[in-house]
Structure 1
Amino acid sequence: MRILIVIPALGAVYGGPSKCVVELAQALGNLGITVDIVTTNANGSTNLDFPLQTWIAEKSYRVKYFPHWGLSDYKISLSLTRWLFQHVADYDLVHTNAIFSYSVLPAHWACQLHRVPYVMTPHGMLDPWALSYKAWKKHFYYTLFEKPALERASAIQMLASSEAQCAKPLNLQSPLVIVPNGIHRQDFETLPDPELFYQQFPDTRNKKLILFLGRVDPKKGLDLLAVAFAKVYAQFPQTHLVVAGQDNIGFLPTAQSYFAERGCLDAVTFTGMLTGSLKYAALAAASVYVAPSYSEGFSMSVLEGMASGLPCVITTGCNFPEAAMAQAAHVVNLDTEELANALIECLRHPQQAKEMGDRARQLIFEQYTWDQIALNLSKVYTSILKQEPIYG
């Protein structure tokens, strides 16, 4: 089976979608599937430093980068467009990632021209909050480009049952298949010494750390978190909030102002994006993980917090109701009072919080590893190619 994965960019600044595509490609390749990725060299305000328009061999897949020019978030690449029309027919199936980005549109058009089946993964962008954000621009683009592509897809990959439920009012004719993101179990079996994190950020030493791990972006709910954390900090002055994430759009001053207005900015450390051992050390140093998002596809960082055995407080916008059903996380509404109360509960009852973290770790290790996810997705691919009913 030859699979082509198309994504607008793989730069680390784009967070979860870029990370999960790479890790999925590796896991699919480990199953003996031939996997190629094509993408642009975009990386926020810079470009990735890779050879362009040549295959780069990774562990179990290949990737080819194309030059682009930026128009808002659309990442237009004429060379990638040409390549797709010339080479899509070389593959059994194409899997595109993202909507509202020009880079993937030519893949859909080329697939339709050459009669190659394709799967689309919107990564949460069909969620009502995501569709309403900058709605004036998205409505035209969705009607003209995205809806026709979605209607012709062999399947649309939803990352969570709640994401699929939110997409139903759109009345899409293509089958929705639920296949979530995952983690590599070996990355979380033994976390590094938290001292590595304390040395880098000494203000966090000897504090009860609440960790937010995600982009500094309006949809991540930092305005909600500021109100909730101020209430937590008033009761637990030894707490310290770590906001670990990249600011791609210049939102950091606004985010900092939320905490300043609540009088708790001195108890917040903005670290920027953490990667590698430093990120895992932050997870090891934390006492509680929090994700106050308005909208997610299926958050990679939530999986990482749970796989680290942390008690997690997440919102319904994180699209992970299964965590609540397994009593593996506090899943709260988009409400500052509920958010604050759940954080306080974790801090006030550390033994119960630890037990919840243990359940979270077990749930992720049993059901959300990339090996299992790749196997499930490969079955979807096979069903499409055999023109059989799709189950997922």
Structure 2
Amino acid sequence: MKILIVVPALGLVYGGPSKIAVELAQALGNLGISVDVVTTNANGAISLDVPLHTWIPEKSYRVQYFPYWMGEYKTSFTLTGWLLQHVTDYDLVHTIAVFSYPVLAAHLACQLRQVPYVMNPQGMLEPWALSYKAWKKRFYYALLEKPALQHAKAIQMLAFTEAERTKPLNIKAPMVLIPNGIHRQDFEALPDPALFYQNFPNTRNKTLILFLGRVDPKKGLNLLAVAFAKIQAQFPQTHLIVAGQDNIGFLSTAQGYFAEAGCLDAVTFTGMLTGSLKYAALAAASVYVAPSYSEGFSMSVLEGMASGLPCIITTGCNFPEAASAQAAHVVDINADKIADALIECLKHPQQAKAMGNRARQLILERYTWEQVASNLSKVYTAILKQEPISVFS
């Protein structure tokens, strides 16, 4: 089986979709599936320093980069030409994200060359996501994205709630429920938190609350500012870590939320954390919080839970299973509810620790890339054999 994954970019500044494409390619390749990834060299304000128009071998897949222009839309005519010429080299194409030129070009090439494709919108069809910059998306969706969705052989939904919220769009293609995952080995032993304290000494000897995600309007930092101000009043030893990249110039606005709430002095904005430093932050934290308005299925939430942290996440994170398993506080998208859950964890550390242990067990048992790849390979096989597609969870 030969699979082509198309994703707008692999730059780390883009967060989830870029990381997911790499992890998925690796996991599928580990199953013995032939996997190629094509993308652009976009990486925020600068381009990735990578060879273009040539295959770069990775552990169990290959990747090829193409130049782009037009900023966030990532238009690439050379990628378009390559897709038109080579898409028939593959049995099936899997695209990640929507509202971006590379995946649109892939869908059109697949339709023209009659190659089946699977789409993973990564939560970008959720009501909140569609309402953000709606004046741009409404026309684009009707003209380009909806036809692409209708021609897909399957739509990969990351959560049951995501599938439910997209029902009003009347997408005819079958939906399969396959969430994102983590690598078990990454969480078998977290590094010494001293590495984090060395880089951010003002956090030493504090009770750390960790937010791990892009500095972006949808992440709910305005809600977190109000909630954390209440926490600071009751637990002055607490300190909030906001660890994430600012791709759109939103940092000053986010900092303004905390300044207005009167708690900016107890907040450290670290920028994006990667590798050992990210895992050291997880090891140093006492509580993880995700106050998002909308997510597909957050990789950061999975990482927080796999680290054994007590987690407070909103219903916008699309993970009701965490509440069912008593593995996280899943709260309404509301500053008071977020604050109440944080207070509960800080007042009752033993119960919070037990919840974190349940979270770790849940993620390591049910949400690994090995399971994701196995379920997707079954979907691919069913499509290629023209058999009914089952829904996996």
Using structure 1 for the length normalisation, give the TM-score: 0.99
* Number of the residue aligned with 1:123: 122
1:389 is matched with: 388
Give the distance between the partners of 1:29 and 1:70, measured in 2 at CA. Answer: 32
What's 1:16 paired with?
A: 16
1:226-265 mapped onto 2 (5 Å cutoff): 226-265=225-264
Q: Secondary structure at the match of 2:211?
A: strand
What's the counterpart of residue 186 of structure 1?
185
1:17 shift after superposition: 1.0
Q: Tell me which amino acid in the other structure corresponds to 2:62.
A: R
SS in 2 for 1:94: strand
Q: Deviations over 1:127-170 (max 9, x none)?
A: 00000001011000000000000000000000111100101111
Q: What is residue 281 of structure 1 aligned with on the other side? A: 280
1:245 Cα deviation from its structure 2 partner = 0.3
In 2, Cα distance between the equivalents of 1:277 and 1:106? Answer: 36
1:66 is aligned to 2:83: no
Shift of 1:113: 1.1
SS of the counterpart of 1:103?
helix
Q: Does residue 1:309 correspond to 2:308, yes or no?
A: yes
Q: 2:27 is matched with which residue?
A: 27
User: How many angstroms does 1:20 deviate by?
Assistant: 1.1
Q: What percent of counterpart residues are identical? A: 79
In structure 2, the residue matched to 1:146 is 145
Cα drift, residue 391 of structure 1: 1.1
CA distance in 2, matches of 1:90, 1:285: 47
2:353 partner amino acid: K
Describe the superposition over 1:223-265 as per-residue Cα deviations: whole angstroms up to 9, x where unpaired.
0000000001100000000000000111000000000001100
Residue identity matched to 1:366:
E
Give me the whole-angstrom Cα distance separating, in 1, the residues matched to 2:70 and 2:276.
Answer: 32
1:85 aligns with 2:84: yes
Q: What are the ranges of 5 or more consecutive residues in structure 2 without an aligned counterpart?
A: none
Kindly indicate whether residue 177 of structure 2 is the aligned counterpart of residue 169 of structure 1. Answer: no
Aligned-partner Cα distance in 1 for 2:59–2:120: 23
3-state SS, counterpart of residue 95 of structure 2: strand
Any idea what SS the aligned residue of 1:139 has?
Answer: helix
Query: Quick one: which amino acid aligns to residue 339 of structure 1?
Result: I
Please name the residue that 1:342 is paired with: 341
Q: Quote the Cα distance in structure 1 between the aligned partners of 2:383 and 2:325.
A: 32
Instruction: Report the Cα offset of residue 269 of structure 1.
Output: 0.2
Equivalence map 1:212-231=2 (5 Å): 212-231=211-230
Look up the match of 1:209.
208
SS at match of 1:327: coil
Gap runs ≥5 in structure 1: none
Structure-1 separation of matches of 2:315 and 2:390: 25
CA distance in 2, matches of 1:318, 1:70: 30
AA partner of residue 242 (structure 1) = I
Q: Considering only aligned residues, what root-mean-square deviation do their CA atoms show, in Å? A: 0.5
TM-score (norm 2): 0.99
**How far has the Cα of 1:3 moved from its partner?**
0.2
SS of the residue 2:276 aligns to: helix
1:57 corresponds to which letter in structure 2?
P
What is the rounded CA distance, in whole Å, between the counterparts of 1:381 and 1:233 in structure 2? Answer: 50
Give the total of aligned pairs: 391
Which residue does the alignment assign to 1:132?
Answer: 131
Determine the C-alpha separation between the residues in 2 that align with 1:2 and 1:103: 19
1-side partners of 2:189 and 2:210: how far apart? 19
Secondary structure, in 3 states, of the residue corresponding to 2:249? coil
Shift of 1:70: 2.1
Q: In 1, Cα distance between the equivalents of 2:105 and 2:195?
A: 45
1:102, CA displacement in angstroms? 1.1
Letter in 2 for 1:236: F
Q: Distance in 2 between matches of 1:144 and 1:372?
A: 35
Which residue type is aligned with residue 219 of structure 1?
K
- Please say if 1:266 is aligned against 2:271: no
Hey, what's the Cα distance between the residues in 1 that align with 2:270 and 2:255?
Answer: 12
Cα distance in structure 1, aligned partners of 2:274 and 2:291? 21
1:43-102 per-residue CA deviation (whole Å, 9 max, x = no partner) reads 00000111001000000000000000124x210000000000000000000001111111
Q: Does 1:55 align with 2:55?
A: yes
Cα deviation for residue 114 of structure 1 reads: 1.1
Q: Map of 1:37-52 to 2, 5 A cutoff? A: 37-52=37-52
Distance 1:205 1:50 in 2: 38
Give 3-state SS (helix, strand or coil) of 1:180's partner.
coil
Cα distance in 2, alignment partners of residues 103 and 29 from structure 1: 22
Give secondary structure in 2 for the equivalent of 1:211.
strand
SS in 1 for 2:35: strand
- What is the CA–CA distance in structure 1 between the aligned matches of 2:78 and 2:48, rounded to whole Å? 16
Aligned partner of 1:69: which letter? W
SS at match of 1:86: helix
